[in-house]
Amino acid sequence: MAKYGMIIDVTKCTGCYSCFLSCRDEYAGNDYLPYSAAQPPSGQHWMQLKEKERGTCPKVKLDYIPTPCMHCGDASCITAATGDAVYRRPDGIVIIDPAKAKGQKDIVSGCPYRVIYWNEEQHIPQKCTMCAHLLDQGWKEPRCVEACPTGALVFGDLDDPKSDISILKASQGVEALHPEYKLNPAVMYIGLPKRFIAGEVVLSDQPDECAEGIDVTLSFGDNKITVQTDNFGDFEFDGLENDAPYTIEIAQGGYATKTFDIRTKIDVNLGTIVLEKQ
């Protein structure tokens, strides 16, 4: 028996909404009982696309975080339900039984990821089924994964060490969305947005020139990373911890070195840093 999972690479997601639209195309107005009842014409997004804006102008980043049901190994929606209305299949897919869940609105608030919707007309909670009805017919992947043009969504059998998802998981650091929920999700992520520090360097005697190739060193604990400013004089360190201490040192021969002690409570734009001639 396969153990299904999905890895979502946020760095490959362009926010094209193909996954979102293919999901709506599959489920809006279509019953797949006993897997799922039809989605209403509007208001439900079983594959959500969350936009995360980081930084301050002009150093701004926009990430898209595709967010389906996480098909958790320790699913809190299952414990929020009564009468086996939510269950986990042997392949790991978590299903809300549309018949047994009728009237159980508490199931909606049982999910901290907020991926369960209440269907007011049918009086049932609803969510992503990982396209279980298609997988059981022999499909190799859900509609959203099939529709993704960039390969940001990888689906497969986590118990098969030769599957694409297992190879990707072994080769890259994957992490949970909201690990603090401790629900052991089968949907994992690569490249979830972290803190960044950025800035721009100018030399005092060349104020109209971009200061290219200046050494900028980031220190944290016993670690140091040095990068060089690009041809616009810009530098950036991404993937940093939240609320952690970092030091930035900017050095160039013949100019006074500048040092900044930073705590990454927010993304930090140091702005234009002028190195004074000595």
Instruction: Report CA 24 to chain centroid distance, whole Å.
Output: 20
Q: Using the rule CB under 6 A, is 36 a contact of ligand SF4?
A: no
List the one residue from 148, 177, 197, 216 that touches ligand SF4 (CB under 6 A). 148
List the one residue from 64, 155, 237, 246 that touches ligand SF4 (CB under 6 A). 64
Q: Using the rule CB under 6 A, is 156 a contact of ligand SF4?
A: no
Minimum distance from residue 209 beta carbon to ligand SF4 (Å):
38
Q: Binding-site residue total for ligand SF4 (CB under 6 A)?
A: 29
- Would you call 122 helix, strand, or coil by DSSP? coil
Residue 154's contacts (CB-CB under 8 Å, 6 or more residues apart) are 6, 7, 8, 9, 145, 164, 165, 168
Minimum distance from residue 79 beta carbon to ligand SF4 (Å):
9
List the one residue from 17, 117, 118, 139 that touches ligand SF4 (CB under 6 A). 17
At 259, list the tokens: 């040092």
At 182, list the tokens: 């401790």
List the one residue from 116, 174, 203, 248 that touches ligand SF4 (CB under 6 A). 116
DSSP 181: G
Residue 24's contacts (CB-CB under 8 Å, 6 or more residues apart) are 39, 45
List the one residue from 59, 104, 124, 127 that touches ligand SF4 (CB under 6 A). 127
CB nearer ligand SF4, residue 69 or residue 101: 69
The length of the chain is 278
Residue 238: CB atoms within 10 A of its CB come to 14
Minimum distance from residue 148 beta carbon to ligand SF4 (Å):
3
Minimum distance from residue 247 beta carbon to ligand SF4 (Å):
36
Tokens 């030091």 -> residue: 247
Of the candidates 202, 209, 210, the one whose C-alpha atom is nearest the C-alpha of residue 277 is 202
- Would you call 262 helix, strand, or coil by DSSP? strand
Residue 241's contacts (CB-CB under 8 Å, 6 or more residues apart) are 194, 195, 264
Q: Using the rule CB under 6 A, is 15 a contact of ligand SF4?
A: yes
Minimum distance from residue 83 beta carbon to ligand SF4 (Å):
16
List the one residue from 152, 177, 218, 273 that touches ligand SF4 (CB under 6 A). 152
The span from the CA of 25 to the CA of 20, in Å, is: 9
The span from the CA of 78 to the CA of 73, in Å, is: 10
Amino acid in position 233:
G
Q: Using the rule CB under 6 A, is 132 a contact of ligand SF4?
A: no
Piece in contact with ligand SF4 (CB under 6 A), picked from 38-46, 108-116, 135-143, 156-164: 108-116
* 130: enclosing H helix or E strand: none
Q: Using the rule CB under 6 A, is 143 a contact of ligand SF4?
A: no
Q: Using the rule CB under 6 A, is 154 a contact of ligand SF4?
A: no
Q: Using the rule CB under 6 A, is 174 a contact of ligand SF4?
A: no
Minimum distance from residue 45 beta carbon to ligand SF4 (Å):
12
At 118, list the tokens: 């209440």
Chain contacts with ligand SF4 (rule: CB under 6 A): 13-19, 49, 64, 66, 69-72, 75-77, 94, 111, 113, 115-116, 127, 147-148, 150, 152-153, 183
